């Protein structure tokens, strides 16, 4: 009668107590056949990676610049609106002054006044 441990030990023995090949540390056939890249190929791949990284950096910079453009336009718009708001009171005062000095007439009103003045002078 044998124990399971003995049966296991016996199954890995070959040719009367000579150990069979161990499966530890062995590589598959695919690993043996895998092509190892040359130094030149490794350098080329590294160079391509660096170029792609540089291109990504440039694209990020372009995006950053494009993000800044609307911000600049928004600031200029706000400045123009502030300038316009500061001019409104001055414009209202000017209009009031023109009305009090009778200068705030339309061109039609001025023509009519000139015609009336001509008629008075001709009489």
Q: Does the global pTM surpass 0.85? A: no
Query: Rounded to 10 degrees, what is the CA torsion of 19, 23, 29, 30?
Result: -170
pLDDT digits (tens, 9 = 90+) for 79-114: 999 988 888 888 888 877 777 776 667 778 778 888
Helix/strand/coil for 99: helix
Q: Which helix (H) or strand (E) holds 14?
A: strand 13-14
| Bigger pLDDT: 22 vs 62 | 62
């Amino acid at each position: 009668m044998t124990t399971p441990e003995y049966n296991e030990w016996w199954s890995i023995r070959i040719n009367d107590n000579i150990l069979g090949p161990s499966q530890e540390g062995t590589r598959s056939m695919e690993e043996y056949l895998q092509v190892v890249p040359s130094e030149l190929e490794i350098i080329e791949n590294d160079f391509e990676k660096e170029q792609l990284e540089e291109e990504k950096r440039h694209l990020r910079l372009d995006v950053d610049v494009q993000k800044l453009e609307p911000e600049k336009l928004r600031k200029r718009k706000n400045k123009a609106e502030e300038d316009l708001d500061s001019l409104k009171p001055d414009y209202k005062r000017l209009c009031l002054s023109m009305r009090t000095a009778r200068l705030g007439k339309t061109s039609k009103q001025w023509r009519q006044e000139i015609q009336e003045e001509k008629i008075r002078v001709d009489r």
